[in-house]
């Protein structure tokens, strides 16, 4: 569980080349925005995108949103300039750099060192800017544990389904949907679980990637529901219509949140002197013990982070 990290139920992609989208993004209720200089921006538009992004970050108006910038990956010639220009220009108004197509711990270490140099040069607090690592190919997935451990700046591991499907030659063009002919399970299960395991083992957030059929909101809800059920913390949103769905799907339901708070209170009571110092006890028809408390803590933390308030209280049974 990643209690210390801020919620990232909805992570809104905003192309840095479009000042109108940058402005609009400020008003949307996404937990995070990431301003893109990578695949949503054409090569010839990248220099202007850097400038638009610096201006938009420094203008402010982002509320409580986590502000990330996605730079180009390290196989290109753009990455160092992306990082230097954006962090020198707007490092104090920036929470994270997102590194796409990460293939090794060394790539994260490079970014960590460059950030440290820029922070020292500019007089910013050293180590404050986080790193988000996109896992988008077989090399990245195989190295994922080392990537998660490569820097204390790492906050999230993000599934990049479009690039991932391309990199492993998966036979489909519809991101998130199952490849035709594979009718025995979820073709993404191994990838999602590997990202989730590395995230949980290293206390990072696990974030699901984009769903490209932006008009198909039912499809978005269905695909988001799968990674949310596994335990992912959030998902990308490419369009304003997807934001509310992500905020809902990655937060617990009111009913589950209330139930989790009841379990915590009840277990607290039953393990106490007054409750009989019991290690396991009945809550209605349900037996609860220390493992129930741990599960309830996860739901409770996600609910509190999403701003839910409880609608029921635990009353100890009559003695």
Q: Which is nearer to ligand GLV, 55 or 166 (CB)?
A: 166
DSSP strand pairing (205-208 vs 10-15)? unpaired
CA-wise closest residue to 136 among 70, 90, 233: 70
CB of 163 to Mg ion, least distance (A): 4
Which of 16, 91, 140, 161: binder of ligand GLV (CB under 6 A)?
Answer: 161
Cβ atoms of 108 and 74 within 8 Å: the answer is: no
- Identify what 17 binds: Mg ion, ligand GLV, none; CB under 5 to 8 Å per kind: none
How many beta carbons lie within 10 A of that of residue 316, not counting itself? 12
- Identify what 210 binds: Mg ion, ligand GLV, none; CB under 5 to 8 Å per kind: ligand GLV
Under the binding rule (CB under 5 A), the answer on residue 163 touching Mg ion is yes
Question: With CB under 6 A as the contact rule, which of the stretches 19-27, 79-87, 159-167, 180-188 interacts with ligand GLV?
Answer: 159-167
Binding track, positions 73-112, relative to ligand GLV; x by CB under 6 A = ---------------------------x------------
Under the binding rule (CB under 6 A), the answer on residue 170 touching ligand GLV is no
Binding track, positions 185-224, relative to ligand GLV; x by CB under 6 A = ------------------------xx--------------
Sign of CA dihedral 299, 256, 210, 192: positive
- Identify what 209 binds: ligand GLV, Mg ion, none; CB under 5 to 8 Å per kind: ligand GLV
Alpha helices in the chain (DSSP H): 19-25, 46-59, 79-90, 105-122, 138-142, 144-149, 161-167, 189-201, 217-230, 240-249, 254-271, 290-305
For residue 106 the two structure tokens come to 């060394």
How many beta carbons lie within 10 A of that of residue 164, not counting itself? 22
Question: With CB under 5 A as the contact rule, which of the stretches 22-30, 81-89, 134-142, 187-195 interacts with Mg ion?
Answer: 134-142
Q: Which is nearer to ligand GLV, 135 or 264 (CB)?
A: 135
Under the binding rule (CB under 6 A), the answer on residue 162 touching ligand GLV is yes
CB burial of 92-130 (b: ≥16 within 10 Å; e: otherwise) equals eebbbbbbbbbbbbebbebbbebbbebbeeeebeeeebb
Binding track, positions 257-276, relative to ligand GLV; x by CB under 6 A = --------------------
* Residue position matching structure tokens 């820097």: 151
* Residue position matching structure tokens 């635990």: 314
* Rounded Cα–Cα distance for residues 143 and 57 (Å): 32
Which residues form the interface with ligand GLV (CB under 6 A)? Answer: 100, 134, 136, 160-163, 209-210
Residues of this chain that bind Mg ion (CB under 5 A): 136, 160, 163
């Amino acid at each position: 569980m990643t209690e210390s990290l801020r919620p990232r139920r909805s992570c809104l992609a905003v192309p840095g080349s479009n000042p109108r989208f940058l402005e609009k993004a400020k008003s949307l209720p996404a937990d995070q925005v990431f301003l893109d200089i990578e695949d949503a921006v054409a090569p010839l538009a990248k220099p202007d995108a850097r400038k638009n992004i610096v201006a938009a970050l420094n203008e402010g108006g982002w509320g409580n949103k986590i502000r990330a910038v996605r730079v180009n990956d390290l196989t290109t010639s753009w990455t160092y300039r992306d990082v230097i220009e954006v962090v020198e220009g707007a490092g104090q108004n920036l929470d994270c750099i997102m590194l796409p197509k990460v293939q090794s711990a060394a790539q994260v270490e490079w970014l960590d060192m460059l950030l440290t140099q820029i922070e020292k040069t500019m007089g910013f607090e050293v180590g404050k800017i986080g790193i988000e690592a996109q896992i988008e190919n077989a090399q990245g997935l195989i190295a994922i544990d080392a990537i998660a451990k490569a820097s204390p700046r790492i906050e999230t591991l993000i599934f990049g389904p479009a690039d991932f499907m391309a990199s492993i030659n998966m036979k489909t063009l519809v991101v998130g949907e199952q490849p035709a002919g594979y009718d025995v399970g979820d073709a993404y299960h191994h990838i999602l679980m590997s990202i989730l395991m590395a995230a949980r083992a290293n206390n990072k957030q696990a974030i699901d990637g984009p769903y490209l059929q932006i008009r198909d909101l039912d499809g978005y809800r269905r695909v988001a529901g799968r990674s949310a059920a596994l335990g992912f913390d959030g998902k990308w949103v490419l369009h304003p219509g997807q934001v509310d769905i992500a905020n809902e799907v990655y937060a617990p339901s009111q009913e589950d949140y209330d139930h989790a708070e009841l379990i915590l209170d009840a277990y607290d009571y039953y393990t106490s002197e007054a409750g009989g110092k019991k290690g396991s006890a009945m809550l209605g028809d349900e037996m609860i013990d220390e493992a129930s408390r741990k599960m309830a803590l996860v739901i409770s933390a996600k609910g509190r982070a999403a701003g839910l308030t409880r609608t029921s209280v635990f009353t100890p049974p009559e003695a």
